[in-house]
Structures are given as structure tokens and as C-alpha cells.
Amino acid sequence: MIELLRRLGRGGIGFFQRLGRAHLFLARVLWGLGELYPRPGLVVAQLWSLGVLSLLIILVSGLFVGMVLGLQGYNTLVDFGAEESLGVLVALSLVRELGPVVSALLFAGRAGSALTAEIGLMKATEQLAGMEMMAVDPLRRVVGPRFLAGWLSLPLLAAIFSAMGVLGGYFVGVGLLGVDDGAFWSQMQSKVDLRDDVVNGVIKTIVFGFVVTWIAVFEGYDCVPTSEGVGRATTRTVVHSALAVLALDFVLTALMFNEG
């Protein structure tokens, strides 16, 4: 019994210590971001490997999610004779929820895990320590550019995801199921609000991008420097990012879309 309590306590302390380290780490990374201003090349290289190389999975997934939405939405709406509203349904679901959330999950799996593994391996092979001894701060040279690039990439990827999804919905709804072309677009235009829907969706992606990339770079930097440690850290990145994204999505949705 005492042993159990002790273990709980130790686990709790470990958790809070890690949380503290994660925040200190974040503060130091953010503080060092200013140094990147004269060296945009570092960030561009990371935008390429995190953003551009994630494009394919985002494009394909967006298309399929949109097609499924088109199909399911049509089946429901047609019972009420409201299939003209398919465009609104597809666009709103994507812009408000599915775009930000699904892209963030995909991004965590595709780019976040790679980030953790890369930084973790650099730690395990003493590359980070080597940089420190060369008076190069790995937080600024290695972590900073990756953090910034990841944070910037997700909103763009999510926008592309949503655009592809709308095309997918259009293809199924208008192309295959015969929804009226004009109604599809005009209803979408009149019912999707720039501030309430689009901006709120973008805010979500900015928050998710920040959190997912933070988790990924921290897990890599804080990992146990062995092959097993890197493997575990990579798994944790994906799991924790997914949980954080879903939980935050609930909170953000409650704050943003509760006009009732």
C-alpha cells in the first residue's frame, strides 16, 4: 500500500518535472528564435522537409475525406430534400473541424515523429553535445528552425487539406450524385463566414501546429539517448500529439462556436 503510494508520488513528481522542463525548453527555444532572422535558409530547409514532404499525404487524405463527406452528407440531406446544401455541409465540416484536426493528426504522424527521431538520434550520437562544445547552441540551430517551420507548416497544410476536401466533395456530390453545380458553390459562399468559420479554423491550426511541433521537438531533445529511448520518444510524440490535438479541439470549439 505504502509502496503503491510511493510509486504514485514518484510518477506524479516525474510528470511535473517533465512538464516544467518542457516549458523551460519552450521558453528557451522561443527566446532563441530571433537569431533565425538573419539566417532564413535554416528555416526554409525545414519548411521543405516538414511541409513540402508532407504534401502528398495531406493532398490524398484531403481528397478522400472530402469524398466521404460528400457521400455521407448527400445520403442524409437527400431525405430532407436539402441536397443543395451539400456544399455548405462539406465546407463547414472541413474548415471548422476536419481540416485542422485531421491535418494535425497526419502531421504528427508524418512530420512530428520524424522530428523526434531526428533530434533524438542527434542526441544519441553526441551531435548535440558536439555542437555545444563548438559553442553552437543546438536549441537555436537545430530545434529553433524545426519548431518554427513545423508551426508555420501546419496552417498551410490544413488549408490545402480543406481545399482538396471541398474538391473531393464536389466531385462526388456534383459529379457523381447530380447535385446542382451552381447551388453547391453559391450556398457555400453565402453560408461560410470568413470570421466565424475560416478564421476560427485557422486559429485552431495555429494552436495545433504550435503544440504538435513543441511536443515533437521536446520529446526528441529530452529522450533517453539510446535506440530504445528514441523509439519510445517517437511513439510518445504521436500519442501525446493526438491526445493534445483532440482535447484542445474540444476546448477551442467550445470557446469559438458556442453562439447557441
Partner 1 sequence: MTTRKKKKAANPHPPPPADDALVVIRGLRFSRGPRVIFDGVDLTISRGRVTAIMGPSGSGKTTLLKLIGGQLRPDAGTIKVDGEDVHRLSRDGLYALRRRMGMLFQSGALLTDLDVFENVAYPLREHTGLPEAIIRDIVLMKLEAVGLRGARHLAARELSGGMARRVALARAIALDPMMIMYDEPFTGQDPISLATLAKLVRELNDIIGLTSVVVSHDVAETAAIADYVYVLSGGRVVGKGTPATLARTRSRWVRQFMDGLPDGPVPFHYPAGDYVEDLMTGEEG
Residues that bind partner 1 (CB under 8 A): 122, 125-127, 129-137, 141
Specify the residue, 132 or 193, whose C-beta has the smaller distance to partner 1: 132
Specify the residue, 27 or 255, whose C-beta has the smaller distance to partner 1: 27
Specify the residue, 129 or 251, whose C-beta has the smaller distance to partner 1: 129
Place of cell 513540402: 52
What's the closest the beta carbon of residue 28 comes to partner 1, in angstroms? 9
Specify the residue, 138 or 150, whose C-beta has the smaller distance to partner 1: 138
The grid coordinates listed for 77 are 440531406
Specify the residue, 28 or 191, whose C-beta has the smaller distance to partner 1: 28
What's the closest the beta carbon of residue 47 comes to partner 1, in angstroms? 16
Specify the residue, 6 or 176, whose C-beta has the smaller distance to partner 1: 6
What's the closest the beta carbon of residue 133 comes to partner 1, in angstroms? 4
What's the closest the beta carbon of residue 148 comes to partner 1, in angstroms? 19
What's the closest the beta carbon of residue 173 comes to partner 1, in angstroms? 46
What's the closest the beta carbon of residue 122 comes to partner 1, in angstroms? 8
